[in-house]
Structures are given as structure tokens and as C-alpha cells.
Amino acid sequence: MNTAQAQPGDAGTTRQATPIDQESLSQLIGLAYECASHPEVEADFLHAVCTALGLDSATVILVDLKQRTNTMLSMYVDDPGVSKETLAALVADYNRRFSQFNPLTEICIDKGLLVSGNTIFSEDMVPHPMLQRTAFYNEFFQQQGWYDHAGIVSIADGKTAVTINFASKAETYPVTPAARKLLRMLAGHLARAHTLRRQLETRRVTRDAALQSLDALTFGLLILDHKRKVLFQNRPAREIIDSNKALDIRRRELRCDLPRSQKLLKDQVSMAIDAALHGIPMHWSPTQLDLQDTGQRPVAVCAYPLPTSGSPFAAAHPACLLFLRDLNAEQGLPEDQLIDMFELTPAEARIAQEIANGYSLEHAAERMGHTLGTSRTMLKRVYAKTGTNRQNELACLVMSLAGLLHPVSE
């Protein structure tokens, strides 16, 4: 593709690569990594590279290595007169006509050129006269006025590859040795940046799926930091708080306007955070926030410590899970499922429910008409069958099962 090249000093419009100093190179590398976390700056990066290389346009292509097809993801041209709508139409036209039979894709796959961090130039693929005889060249490449080609494989994993391709027009200089050198210097950084981008996207998708799953639970869940500040609350938690006049989140802290219940809530959370920070064993059980003064039934709360972890640069570290259970909810805890899953007796399933609803062992025994000793023995059997050791662990398990077995309908 480098035949009949324009020479320095030829008449006509020419466009040359901007001399690249170390500062400019650092800026290009910085833009490449910025694209990893901010994909919206991709056009700025492509513009900067085109300017530095003295080239006119760029495309981002996704190659399916198994199906041997390709999809154009985006296009950039160094012409402010070309609208986004025009570029989108060109991308759509390419994908409609050439995604199944771009000969350059076949050549790159067959020659093993699609390797992360590799640079690909015209002569690596096919001599220019051969390319000119293809329908792809005549119906797309030439229609864009493109003449010479250079590309970087930003990532390839055996299934797919992403290439960033730059092109020059016939009336400009072909890709110069200086431009080729710059592309080779950028290639490794671009490959690492794209790997980082893929990792960030994977984590984002996983995080979003996790958040949607937490919203589907039937009980409230809040994540608190070591200062009792709310870092996250799922949809049921928001609904429970919004529907209870005495509960509110003020200055990012869950509070109860009733003094006794506020003390119970604060003590429950503080003990969980202390356990998380200092490894203190858990020796407490779920409790109820008595909201009778507001005309509402109690809300069961259960705090569970989260082992401290994370980067020292993080603004906050999760330290506590706080479960909320609205006892006004029509849907009860799954006694029959508890019996089936853990081979509990009806009485054992009932005491597990009572504990999950925030009743103390003494209150549970009274409500069930058992002595405290009988209830304590029964609870030990429940621990053994469910693999738990303390009341808060049992409560968290039962509350979790309630959400899993009775998902919230939209």
C-alpha cells in the first residue's frame, strides 16, 4: 500500500507528523490510560494520535477470532465538518456490508498478527496492488479516500481482538518511519490500558449485578463504615426507613428518634464495628427497635461485622452489615423451607424464626410456652443443624433465606 508515495517537496496539500518530544509522548500515554477509566475521552485520544502521526482518520474494530468476523465500534476523522451522525452512519454502513468479509481481517488472522501490543502496517498484510483488486478496497477503503494504513492491536485473548487503525489519504504522506516508531512506543501502553479497561468493565458489570441482587432481597441491608456512616442501602432498606416515621438517615447515619431504640441500634452497630476492627468475638443477638410510640410494630435489626480490608487510599472501609426486617411485612419467614433444608422440627424452625425476628431467647421461650432451659437446648440443636454458632449468625442465615426463597416482585 506504499506504492506511488508522495515525496517531500511534492506539490499539493501535504500533512506531516508533528515532531514528538518526551512531554507530548507522555501526554499521549496519559490519554491512553485515561481511556481505561473514562471511555468518553477516546475521541480525544484518537485526535491526539492522528495529529501526532500526521494522519487523517481512525477506527476501532472488534474482531471475532472464532467466527472470523469484525465489527466497527467507532470511527474518528480529523475534520470538524463531519458530524457525529455522519460518522455513526458510516459505522453502520461498514458493519452492514463488510463485517462478514473484510479481507484484511482474514489476512491478519491467518498471519497471526492479532496479538496484544502488536503493530500492523500495510506491508504486513498484503501488497498494495492485491488490496486494490478487492471489493472491500473499492467499495469502502477507497471511498473514504484512504491510502496507507497503520494499526495497533490493543488486546487479544484468543476469542476476540480489538484493533485501533489509522489511515492516511492519497494526497498526504504515507505513514512515516517516525510515525511507525511512535506507534510502536504507544502499543504496549495501549495494550495495558485496554486490559485495565476490560478489568474495570468486568468489575462494573459484576458490581451492578450484585447491587441488583441485593435489591431483590425481602429484607433491608445497609453497609456501614467504621464511623457508622451508610455506604450502601438496598431497596428494601430504603422502603423500611421511608415507611417508619422514627427512622431516618441523617448525615449519612441511620438514626431512630426514640431514645431507647436509638441506644439499642447504636449499641448493636458499635459492637459489630468493634468486632470488625479488633477481632472481638460476637456475643450478642438480633434486637428489636420498639416503634410503638409511632403506632408501628417493631423492626428487627441484626448487625454483622465485616473484616477490615481494602486499599489504604480508599475514602471509607466497610465495617458492618446491618440487616433490617420489617415485622409489618405480610410475608413471613419460610418455616416449611427451614424444616426441609435443615431437617428441623417445627418447634426448632419456630425458635429460629423468633430469633431472626429479633426476640431474645427469654422472650422466644415465653412466646412459645417453653421453659428457658428447653429453649436453650432446642437452640443448640438448631445451631448444630444449620452450621451456626450464635444467635446473630442464625438470624442472618434465616433472613437471607427469606430473601432468596421469596424474591421481591417488580
How do strand 220-225 and strand 69-77 relate by DSSP bridges?
unpaired
pLDDT for residue 173 = 57
pLDDT for residue 89 = 93
If 0-12 CB within 10 Å is exposed, 13-18 middle and 19+ buried, where does residue 205 land? exposed
Buried b / exposed e over 47-76, threshold 16 CB at 10 Å, is: bbbbebbbbbbbbbbebebeeebbebebbb
**What cell numbers appear for 400 in the block?**
437471607
Query: For the chain, which domains are there?
Result: 22-207 (3.30.450.40), 210-405 (3.30.450.20)
Per the CB < 8 A criterion, the answer to whether 61 and 163 are in contact is: yes
At 403, the pLDDT band (50, 70, 90 cuts) reads low
pLDDT for residue 57 = 87
Is the pLDDT assigned to residue 356 strictly greater than 60? yes
pLDDT for residue 3 = 33
Higher pLDDT, 295 or 178: 178
Q: What is the mean pLDDT of residues 73-83?
A: 86
Distance, CA of 106 to CA of 96 (rounded, Å) = 17
pLDDT, averaged across the chain: 82
Rounded to the nearest 10 degrees, what angle do helices 42-53 and 22-37 cross at?
150
**What cell numbers appear for 101 in the block?**
468479509
pLDDT for residue 296 = 65
- The residue among 283, 286, 361, 369 whose CA lies nearest residue 327 is 286
**What cell numbers appear for 326 in the block?**
420489617
How far does the chain reach from its first CA to its final CA, in angstroms?
A: 58
How does pLDDT run across 169-183, given as a tens digit for each residue?
766 556 778 888 888
Distance, CA of 240 to CA of 121 (rounded, Å) = 61
Q: What residues have CB less than 8 Å from 303, skipping those under 6 apart?
A: 268, 269, 271, 272, 320, 321, 322, 323, 392
Per the CB < 8 A criterion, the answer to whether 288 and 300 are in contact is: yes
At 121, the pLDDT band (50, 70, 90 cuts) reads confident
How does pLDDT run across 188-236, given as a tens digit for each residue?
998 898 888 888 889 989 989 988 888 888 789 999 998 999 999 999 9
Is the pLDDT assigned to residue 5 strictly greater than 60? no
DSSP per position, 196-249:
HHHHHHHHHHHHHHHHHHHHTSSSEEEEEETTS-EEEE-HHHHHHHHH-TTEEE
Q: What is the mean pLDDT of residues 353-359?
A: 83
Q: What is the DSSP letter of 133?
A: T
Least confident of 9-23, 272-286, 355-369: 9-23
**What cell numbers appear for 210 in the block?**
450484585
Residue 250, beta-bridge partner list = 253
Least confident of 16-20, 184-188, 340-344: 16-20
How does pLDDT run across 34-68, given as a tens digit for each residue?
887 888 888 888 888 888 888 888 999 999 999 99
Distance, CA of 70 to CA of 95 (rounded, Å) = 8
Amino acid at 213: S
Provide the whole-model pTM. Answer: 0.58
Distance, CA of 200 to CA of 220 (rounded, Å) = 28
At 255, the pLDDT band (50, 70, 90 cuts) reads very high
Is the pLDDT assigned to residue 155 strictly greater than 50? yes
- Count the neighbouring beta carbons within 10 Å of the beta carbon of residue 299: 26
pLDDT for residue 122 = 80
pLDDT for residue 346 = 93
Higher pLDDT, 138 or 182: 182
- The residue among 109, 104, 17 whose CA lies nearest residue 56 is 17
